Chain A
């Protein structure tokens, strides 16, 4: 697998978009991650493998310079990029409503990968917003794995649907001279 220079630059820009997007979510104090807009954008423009690499490297670079805990979730980010690319290949990023549905679909495999990491490595908590929902579900008698899965799936559906919508808005507004070099983007044109 060898990417051309434009795709390499797109992946590098996506890594920055993901990390700074996470900081913006912190600015507005919402229980969202917003750290996968760049990954989904690469999936739409350049395909599943480029998207997967963008996700994987985001968390590894993030872990290297800002938050070592992020590196533990690198497999989750990889799956988000691959899923976005395959959904784009299937033509599920042609309109705003398809993008929202695609985001919700992406949330499912990403939660399936994230839950074992959260439960077995972090004891079921991450120190973030979903912990409150998980604690409530535990208090009403749900098991630990189910509580973590439901709370994270809920947040993930909202987060990934918004991320996919923003990625679609940006991709559909990019100038043709820029998108013409990404042949894969033709699958997402209406």
Chain B
């Protein structure tokens, strides 16, 4: 079975990577619920459990053909958090178990443990989200929502920004380059960079709003909200196994979150 989203559509969805893996072929709702199950597990597992979850998630991402992208994004996002958490909880937050390290520098083993717990928990949640966004095209999520009767207005609110973000990011870069060519200073003092902001933002915002009237007329003339639900021609495939898998994952996610609360 081929992937539903080709390379061309993948260009607008910034983290999505086209492919033919099991998760690429799965119904987007199955992938979404799998991600929510992983996030619920990360919320309740101890540090060792969340560490295993990250390793398993990264291994799964490589098996699905999105490993390099997931790993790169995970490292870029987690590295500043890791450093900040270790410094703040290991050395700065006042705790009763401070131990001398070098000279006047002291550290707290429980603070470092807490930093490890938080960083692996966020890392596991982020791994789950990254696996989902790299293997599921946003367009397929929308088709899946349309298939389940979500209103055209809600679909438009999610679909339209997804289509516009990449062209507008390119326009933002073009505006930046054009303003720099006119002498706008983006590299010197804080004050100069602060003063440069309106010259970059206002043309972009004006551009985003300039054809608002025109787009409203086109949509109204097509009567896009005349029917309560839209009909999807090429809805993402679904089967009984995936329906049952989703039900099991939802029950597991609720149990994972609920049982520790009852236990306490």
Contacts and interface: CB of A to CB of B under 8 A. Distances in A.
Nearest to B197: A28
Contacts of B165: 16, 19-20, 61, 65
A12 B118 contact: no
Interface string B213-247: 10110011000110000000000000000000000
A116 interface: no
B118 to A, nearest CB: 4
Contact of B77 (A64, A67, A71, A124): A67
A57 B88 contact: no
B162 to A, nearest CB: 7
Interface in B149-195: 153, 156-158, 160-162, 164-165, 168-169, 171-172, 176, 186, 190, 193-194
B84 A127 contact: yes
Given A29-B193, A57-B157, A162-B197, A138 B88 contact: yes
B162 A65 contact: yes
Interface stretch (A3-11, A73-81, A84-92, A103-111): A3-11
B118 A123 contact: yes
Contacts of A122: 81, 118, 122
A30 interface: yes
Interface string A11-52: 111011101110111011110001001100100000000000
Chain A interface helix/strand/loop/mixed: helix
B249 interface: no
A68 B129 contact: yes
A67 B77 CA distance: 9
A63 B85 contact: no
A8 B196 contact: no
A144 interface: yes
B153 A2 contact: yes
A135 interface: yes
B10 to A, nearest CB: 11
Contacts of A23: 169, 172
Given A19-B165, A24-B197, 14 more contacts: A5-B220, A9-B160, A9-B212, A11-B157, A17-B204, A27-B176, A30-B197, A41-B205, A61-B162, A69-B77, A124-B85, A131-B84, A135-B84, A166-B202
13 contacts: A16-B208, A20-B204, A27-B186, A28-B197, A61-B161, A65-B16, A69-B77, A127-B77, A128-B80, A131-B80, A131-B88, A135-B88, A135-B92
Closest 8 CB pairs of A and B: A68-B129, A127-B80, A123-B118, A125-B84, A12-B160, A138-B92, A15-B161, A127-B81
